[in-house]
Amino acid sequence: MPSPDQPLDVEALRAQFLHAVYDEYTFTLDADKLADYAKSCGETATKFTDPNDPDFQAPPTIGSSLQPKQRMPDDFPTFKGLGMDAGKSVAPDKPMRAGVPLTARTHMHDIYTKSGRSGRMVFFVIRMEFSDADDNLLGSADTSIVIREKPQT
Amino acid sequence: MTVNTINDVEFGEELPAFVPDTSMDNVTRFAVAAGWNSPRFTDHEAAKKQGLPGALVPGIMNQGFLSAMIHRWAPAADVRLVDTVFRAPCVVDQTYHINGVVTDIDEDTGEVEVDLTVTNEAGETRVFGTAKVLIPTA
């Protein structure tokens, strides 16, 4: 395990951790909470705001609100300082419905760097994928975390 | 103008902006619904004790505002992607504007790209991003 002060070996991290599912759980969505979620965001379409609508479904950005139970893979190195949230991306594919079992699986989707005069930034893209009981993919949500490394002297 | 088909969409068109409800009551309602019921989103004083300027509008709520704006503009739009960068915090009980501009149109597939921003009263961008949506082709 490298010291938190050492630069991260990005290629080694990619080889060891990319695309391996490290968190998985099954859950259900509550219709009334989905409707509250949508209405508080200003949604007006009844398929998002009215649980009695025959096509009632979660709002498209719901995936961003779901979080893995384990933040990082086992044995992932610690790094100095706090990782900052660099953004969120949500890609719905099929409707997520209330009251049915859904599964969330999380993997490290990408690790990459950007360098400049002030040092190097390392980005970690954590992807959650959501599927139904028949294992149909319903969508995904990416969270990007960035850490800034100090230049080596 | 409400968009019903891809033929109604114009390059460079600005989506009807709206001012979302960022009151403490509404943000709390969202936080409870999303399972993000933390004092940093629902209590100004508790948030300030954490070094924040006040209770924050969750970034994911901003994504919800942006998606809602798209549906207000094009009720039949199928949102395929919302990609956002949270540049600076949005504070509960302050006023923000949700904006969008059409930056690409594929008339064959119906896919439209929209640049998104959340700005404050000073016109400063707090959140920016891109959405891809499918609009009915006929």
Please give the structure tokens belonging to residue B17.
């902006």
Task: State the ipTM, two decimals.
Answer: 0.95
Quote the minimal CA–CA distance from B25 to chain A in Å: 10
Give yes or no for a contact between A96 and A151, defined as CB atoms under 8 angstroms apart: no
Q: Do A61 and B35 touch (CB under 8 A)?
A: no
Q: Tokens 């019921």 belong to which residue?
A: B37
Q: Looking at residue A1, what is its pLDDT?
A: 47
With respect to residue B1, please indicate whether it lies within any of the assigned structural domains: no
Question: Tens digits of per-residue pLDDT, B93-110?
Answer: 999 999 999 999 999 999
Instruction: Please list every residue in chain B whose beta carbon sits closer than 8 Å to the beta carbon of residue A45.
Output: 71, 75
With respect to residue A99, please indicate whether it lies within any of the assigned structural domains: yes
With respect to residue A40, please indicate whether it lies within any of the assigned structural domains: no
With respect to residue A140, please indicate whether it lies within any of the assigned structural domains: yes
pLDDT by 10-residue block (mean), chain A, 153 residues = 68 93 97 98 96 97 96 84 80 97 97 85 94 97 87 54
Q: Looking at residue B126, what is its pLDDT?
A: 95
Q: Do B33 and A86 touch (CB under 8 A)?
A: no
With respect to residue B51, please indicate whether it lies within any of the assigned structural domains: yes
Residues of chain B with pLDDT under 70: none
Supply the CATH number for residue B45's domain. Answer: 3.10.129.10
The residues with which B14 forms a beta bridge, in sequence order, are B101
* Residue B42 φ/ψ, nearest 5 degrees: -125, 5
Q: Looking at residue A3, what is its pLDDT?
A: 55
Q: Looking at residue A121, what is its pLDDT?
A: 87
Please give the structure tokens belonging to residue A7.
């630069």
Domain that holds residue B24: 6-134
- Helical residues (DSSP H) of chain B, grouped into ranges: 24-34, 39-42, 44-49, 59-73
